[in-house]
Copies of this chain bind each other. A is one copy, B any other.
């Protein structure tokens, strides 16, 4: 269907990059054409509905990629920690350690949110559900797993903002390092996956220790 020199997946990947860098309004047809290597008219051949249809297609494409690269690894039969690490690796790569942002998140912050509500909320819901299930598999109670999944996604999105705002990768990179232990804390006992990490990382000094006094 696409140009002989460009598969539909490649086309959607390039459009995705443009939209997530510049946002909906900033991604002009000229930029999209330049990024895709096609003429503007050719883009309208593929997407008669214009930019809106492109975003819709890109979001569906992103959903499919997330499904394969992020969510499916969360649903394998490997030990929970291993599955989580796999997700975080993919995430760090896709977000370039917090320097590239998340298109659904960017869209959520502007009025375009209301035109793409379904795709955006469905993607985040699916993400949350997968992480929740992983944490349940790891041995956490459902309500705790749900909360931690929310906290995790929340912090990932916040880390992207902070990383780009401060111009340094520390927030995102630090979060990636801390998340496994924080999410799985207290979950590695009493279930069939008793595979603690080979080397025990240093305990994070942030949220990791809070409530210690009350609990003790």
Q: Are B158 and A110 in contact (CB under 8 A)?
A: no
Number of chain copies forming the complex: 2
Select which of B22, B171, B212 is within 8 A of A25 by beta carbon: B22
A57 in the interface (beta carbon within 8 A): no
What per-residue 1/0 map shows which CB atoms of A162-175 lie under 8 Å from chain B? 10111100010011
Q: Are A210 and B208 in contact (CB under 8 A)?
A: yes
Q: Are B109 and A164 in contact (CB under 8 A)?
A: yes
Interface size class of A (residues with CB under 8 A): 35 or more
Q: Are B148 and A206 in contact (CB under 8 A)?
A: yes
A157 in the interface (beta carbon within 8 A): yes
Closest partner residue, chain B, to A175 (CB atom): B154
Q: Are A26 and B158 in contact (CB under 8 A)?
A: no
Distance to closest chain B CB from A143 (angstroms): 6
Distance to closest chain B CB from A173 (angstroms): 12
Within A102-117, which residues are at the interface with B (CB < 8 Å)?
A: 104-106, 108-111, 113, 117
Distance to closest chain B CB from A58 (angstroms): 16
Distance to closest chain B CB from A154 (angstroms): 4
Known pairs A109-B161, A151-B207, A158-B161; list 8 more (Cβ under 8 Å).
A22-B110, A104-B165, A121-B165, A121-B167, A154-B159, A154-B161, A183-B210, A185-B212
A-B contact pairs, 9 of them (CB 8 A): A21-B111, A22-B25, A26-B111, A109-B109, A109-B161, A141-B205, A144-B206, A151-B206, A154-B158
